[in-house]
Amino acid sequence: MRFTSFGAWITFWLLWKYRKRMEENVATALGDEIVNPADRKALIWKAWKNFARGVLETCAVLHLPKETIVSTIAIEGEEHLKQALARGKGFLP
């Protein structure tokens, strides 16, 4: 997490054009709801960190074997899928 936060912080300042665009978009979309500029900046920073974490996790997963990935996924509601298939109904993954 420290590596991700550090990378996010560096890119947050290096890619300032994208940060400014985010600030404009948030101001346009949520200007009435988030009027305090400090609150908007906090939201943008959280979104930026979340994006950086997603990029890092995606890169990490690309190098893991399929078995490792599948073993870490918890399946919930599998019984609903089995019931739909048993009735001849389709499903959307």
Q: How far apart are the C-alpha atoms of 47 and 60, rounded to whole Å?
A: 20
* pLDDT tens digits along 41-93: 999 999 999 999 898 888 888 888 989 888 888 888 888 888 888 888 777 66
User: Which residue, chain included where needed, has tokens 């404009």?
Assistant: 24
* pLDDT tens digits along 20-45: 999 999 999 998 899 888 999 999 99
Alpha-carbon Rg for the chain in angstroms? 20
Q: How far apart are the C-alpha atoms of 51 and 56, rounded to whole Å?
A: 9
Q: So what's the pLDDT on residue 29?
A: 92
**Of residues 65 and 2, which shows the higher confidence score?**
65
| Global pTM value | 0.63
Q: So what's the pLDDT on residue 93?
A: 63
Buried b (16+ CB within 10 A) or exposed e, 3-30: ebeeebeebbeeeeeebeebeeebeeee
Q: So what's the pLDDT on residue 35?
A: 87
Distances in whole angstroms, Cα of residue 66 to Cα of each of 49, 60, 75 = 27, 12, 16
Q: How far apart are the C-alpha atoms of 93 and 91, rounded to whole Å?
A: 6
User: Which residue, chain included where needed, has tokens 């900046």?
Assistant: 41
